[in-house]
Amino acid sequence: MYQKIAKETFRSAFKTIDKDILRWFPGHMAKGLKQMQQKLRSVDCIIEVHDARIPLSGRNGEFKYAISGIKPHILVLNKVDLIEPRFKKQITEHLKSQYDHILFTNCRSQTCRGVRAVFPLAKDLINNSNRYNRSNEEDYNMMIIGVPNVGKSSLINALRAKHLGKGKASAVGATPGVTRSVLHKIKMSEKPLFYMLDTPGILTPNISDIEMGLKLALCGTIQDHLVGETIIADYLLYWLNNQNHFEYVEYFKMDKPNDDILEVLAHICKLHNKILRIRNQLNEYVIKPNLDAAAQIMLKAFRDGNLGKHMLDEDLL
Ligand SMILES: Nc1nc2c(ncn2[C@@H]2O[C@H](COP(=O)(O)OP(=O)(O)OP(=O)(O)O)[C@@H](O)[C@H]2O)c(=O)[nH]1
């Protein structure tokens, strides 16, 4: 196995032509923010969900500081099954000046690890906070927020399954932006009476540079075609090589690491028989590798954890 390869072997920086990152993120997110602001008066606790693979990248601090302000706030880092457990402590330590309450969850596992801790913590924080206009109310209202595709609906469903024994209240999707437009108030538990306000995909991520945008894209927070599958796959290859993570070599049955995305994709095309038959100007059929299909295979392999469990912000901790 390739344990360590000199960094000089690979590109030292990632270059892409498309630098207009904010254009990738659609306008409905800003609308979501307005809806949330209007609802905030009736909310006792904010549950902010983010992807544990990018605990620093893309979180929208604006919400916590400018809007939710004094409300109890829990940061749930979901998809913890996709990172190595050793990072949990490092992440908590790094974020402790911003977040007093961080939980790690896996909403995909049968047992939904970590989910059980959410309500007791929320109840505790709410009881110890000033509920202002809601001090006489007996029910607890929470609002779930986060950038698209981090697992907000999955968390709602897991919580309902645990506390109400009920099935799905919220649609779960592999494509970002499934939760949209309407704000639902969903009953989550009977005793104590917990409600959750679901929100529409919502927070526009805070992106300070192109790499951050690409990490968000790699985690599926925007639809791949808005950035381009090949660009995202190229960033993945660059990142894996730079961090000396070479599980992809074995997974894709390659001889050795390679930093050239077109060569890697052409290899995957052969491996998975992804070819395109197209007519040329002479009206003859020619066969070409289907690079976009290969890029999708590579991205899926990463997102399913088949290229290793990787925390993309590891160099920022
Ligand atoms: N590996 C893993 N995948 C998860 C986990 N939780 C959710 N997912 C997957 O992530 C994808 C997005 O989940 P959703 O619950 O729809 O995410 P969302 O934040 O509600 O998405 P939007 O509606 O786009 O805002 C789905 O394919 C889920 O199956 C988790 O803990 N681990």
Q: Are residues 176 and 304 in the same domain?
A: no
Distance CA 239, CA 236 (A): 5
CA torsion 56-81-180-197 (nearest 10°) is -90
Mean pLDDT for 181-204 is: 73
pLDDT per residue as tens digits for the range 74-117 = 999 999 999 999 999 999 999 998 888 999 999 998 787 899 99
Distance CA 296, CA 299 (A): 5
Q: Are residues 68 and 183 in the same domain?
A: yes
Percent of the chain exceeding pLDDT 70 equals 78
pLDDT per residue as tens digits for the range 194-214 = 998 865 546 666 677 788 889
CATH number for the domain including 168?
3.40.50.300
pLDDT of residue 307: 97
Enclosing domain of residue 272: 7-19+208-316
User: What would the two tokens of residue 285 be?
Assistant: 């059929």
CATH number for the domain including 273?
1.10.1580.10
Q: Is the pTM of this model over 0.90?
A: no
C-alpha distances (whole Å) from 20 to each of 17, 44, 113, 210, 244 are 9, 37, 37, 8, 29
Would you say residue 35 has pLDDT above 70?
no
Q: Is residue 203 in some structural domain?
A: no
Q: Is 81 part of any known ligand binding site?
A: yes
pLDDT of residue 138: 78
Q: Are residues 180 and 239 in the same domain?
A: no
Mean pLDDT for 150-171 is: 82
Q: Are residues 214 and 182 in the same domain?
A: no
170, 197, 224 - which closes a domain = 197
ipTM of the complex: 0.98
User: Which mutation among 79, 113, 149 tests ligand 1's pocket best, with the greatest number of atoms within 8 A of CB?
Assistant: 149
Nearest residue (CA) to ligand 1, atom 16: 172
Ligand 1 pocket check for 223: Cβ under 6 Å: no
| Cα–ligand 1 centroid distance for 237 (angstroms) | 23
Q: Are residues 12 and 88 in the same domain?
A: no
Distance CA 115, CA 47 (A): 12
pLDDT band at 255 (very low <50, low <70, confident <90, very high): very high
| Residues 244, 5 contacting (CB under 8 angstroms) | yes
